[in-house]
Amino acid sequence: MEVYRTPDERFENLPGYDFKPHYFEMYGLADHGKSLRMHYLEEGDPRGEPVLLLHGEPTWSFLYRKMIPPLAEAGYRVIAPDYFGFGRSDKPQDMGWYTYDAHVESVKRLVDELDLSDITVVVQDWGGPIGLRVATEMDELYSRLVILNTGILSGQTNMSAAWWAFHDFVDKVKPDVPVAMLVKGACKTEPPDDVMAGYEAPFPVPESKWGVAAFPMIVPTSTDSPGATEMMAMAEALMSWKKPALVAFSDSDPIFNLKTGQRFVDRIPGARPLVTIEGASHFLQEDRGELIAGHIVEFLKS
């Protein structure tokens, strides 16, 4: 299997993203005998409580650039990885390599490698199914949840027309997915050109985009789909989550709306009342990142 590694110069002079890169070599992931290099950011106090920021599709840790500084300045150890196939992490050039289990396993290994505990995990989009599963399966290491615009994709309910339009578009153009166009279309306020170039930076050629192309294809669309059983187990585990949880959803997301956010609040015993992020769409970190970071700091300090 061929693996694409984005050249370092693609990440130079990105707006608001002057963080030092860190890397972790993983071996034998998803039955792949070679090593793969995962990239992650680590900012703030190394002795502080860890805050793990998990991105979704088709973004990478660049999505959290507005939130990392205020969280770090508040005294937390802020960690933002790029999944394999995204950001500065290695990108296997085989769409079949990308599975729900492989992404979950990679995050678990990173948590072990960094010896994290008392973790607050912040999830959005695909970060929800990945991060909430990791948190419930490694319950002893996780103390708090922050849930932003995501869902439990167990195949038990019909996906929206907007999601199916996205799925079918990616299936048609794969692997050459227009990352910046998709991000721009899911923001309330159109980001400037240099920010759009930042989202495109990891993906200079079609063969770098198989991870992006894979995510819509691995969403369980029936209870028999791969990953559906694990998602349902995660959903059941959340019904027993009595530790603190903050749920914050934006007011203009066509895929995961405020009703979805309220369902998380109703499901999780430890959840605070739903927080509405006004003036934001699906990628609320891009639209209102500083505001969301303020809500998280307030939540953690309370």
DSSP string, 72-86: HHTT-EEEEE--TTS
How do residues 103-127 score in pLDDT, each as one tens digit? Answer: 999 999 999 999 999 999 999 999 9
Residues 118, 48 contacting (CB under 8 angstroms): no
Residues 24, 37 contacting (CB under 8 angstroms): yes
Q: Give me 14's structure tokens.
A: 């990105």
Count of CB atoms situated within 10 Å of the CB of 177: 21
pLDDT at site 159: 84
CA 197 to chain centre: 19
In the chain, alpha helices (H): 68-73, 100-113, 127-137, 161-173, 179-185, 193-200, 210-217, 228-238, 258-267, 284-301
What is each CA distance from 246 to 53, 121, 165, in whole angstroms? 14, 10, 30
Tell me the catalytic residues: 125, 253, 282
Extract the residue ranges of the chain whose pLDDT is less than 70: 31-33
- CA torsion, points 222, 60, 32, 175, in degrees to nearest 10? 70
pLDDT at site 32: 65
Indicate whether this model's pTM tops 0.85: yes
pLDDT at site 256: 94
